[in-house]
């Protein structure tokens, strides 16, 4: 029905919304009351002069909001505990919109699709703080993802970088295929081992072991040989 023009009340009253008031014609007051149609069927909202209460599902552009009120409240400004860097209070922002004006430390929940480069922070007073400096006291991460097979290493002063993984000494062949560096590994002619065993060790029944002697087993240490052990 487009409008109520020239329509009889008896034919249209059920299409009107009303307040389930205590008395007829009371209208809205300070009590939250259910909104009904003219036939008394309750809708999913209730109202007072100060509050709107959604009692059913709440959807935005057809998508039902599944978060609870408590979960939404944790996203409010007061829900963040705080964030500091270099003894400065941090204003955490996402695309220029303030998320928190925290004062000490904070755990921030960020959309998984949001990368660190999209996260900006500004200290109270206008001092600029980079996104990476918020991460730790902190570590500086590489700007790229590195190459396939590379490992992440530190220089000992909080800076991480990618580097090629070392192949290790020697060159070995067996069930795991060829391991080690086939170019330089065979040149590692001498295998070095200590002269004292300080850790309990078991050579199982399906294992062969070898080492260069003489070897002393330290006091309190047990060497158990159930398989084969050859000392040269």
18 forms bridges with which residues in the sheet? 36
Mean pLDDT of the chain: 75
Mean pLDDT score, 179-204: 90
The pLDDT assigned to 76 comes to: 56
Where is pLDDT greater, at 128 or 168?
A: 168
State the CB neighbour count (10 A cutoff) for residue 130: 13
Q: Judge contact between 203 and 182, C-beta under 8 A.
A: no
The pLDDT assigned to 136 comes to: 44
Q: What is the dihedral of CA 95, 99, 105, 111, to 10 degrees?
A: -60
Mean pLDDT score, 71-82: 54
pTM: 0.34
Q: Judge contact between 150 and 159, C-beta under 8 A.
A: no
Sequential DSSP letters for the chain: ----TT--HHHHGGGSEEE--SSTT----SS-EEEEETTS-EEEEEE-SS-EEE-S--EETTEEP---HHHHHTTSGGG----EETTEEEEEEETTEEEE--SS-------TT--GGGEEEEETTS-EE-TGGGSSS-PBPPSS---TTEEEEE-SSSBEEEEEPP--SSEE-STT-SEE-TTTGGG-------SEE-S-EEE-TT-EEEE-S--EEPTT--EEESSEEEE-
The pLDDT assigned to 166 comes to: 65
Q: Judge contact between 104 and 84, C-beta under 8 A.
A: yes
At 13-59, the pLDDT tens digits run 898 999 998 888 888 999 999 999 989 999 999 999 999 998 888 88
Residue for token pair 């991480």: 160
Where is pLDDT greater, at 178 or 92?
A: 178
Where is pLDDT greater, at 105 or 216?
A: 216
The pLDDT assigned to 201 comes to: 95
Q: Domain ranges in the chain? A: 1-66, 77-134, 196-231
Confidence of residue 220 (pLDDT cuts 50, 70, 90): very high
């Amino acid at each position: 029905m487009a409008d109520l023009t020239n329509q009889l009340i008896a034919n249209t009253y059920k299409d009107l919304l009303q307040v389930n008031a205590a008395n007829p014609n009371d209208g809205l007051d300070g009590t939250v009351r259910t909104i009904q149609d003219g036939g008394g069927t309750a809708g999913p909202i209730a109202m007072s002069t100060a509050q709107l209460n959604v009692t059913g599902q709440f959807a935005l552009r057809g998508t039902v909001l599944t978060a609870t009120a408590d979960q939404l409240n944790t996203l409010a400004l007061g829900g963040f505990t705080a964030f500091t860097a270099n003894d400065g209070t941090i204003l955490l922002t996402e695309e220029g919109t303030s998320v928190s004006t925290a004062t000490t430390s904070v755990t921030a929940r960020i959309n998984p699709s949001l990368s660190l480069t999209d996260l900006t922070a500004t200290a109270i007073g206008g001092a600029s703080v980079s996104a990476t400096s918020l991460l730790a006291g902190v570590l500086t991460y590489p700007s790229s993802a590195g190459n396939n097979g590379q490992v992440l290493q530190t220089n000992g002063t909080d800076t991480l970088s990618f580097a090629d993984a070392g192949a290790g000494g020697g060159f070995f062949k067996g069930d795991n295929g060829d391991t080690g560096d086939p170019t330089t590994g065979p040149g590692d002619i001498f295998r070095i081992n200590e002269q004292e065993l300080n850790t309990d060790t078991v050579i199982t029944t399906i294992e062969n072991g070898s080492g260069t002697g003489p070897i002393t087993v330290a006091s309190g240490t047990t060497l158990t040989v159930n398989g084969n052990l050859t000392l040269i």
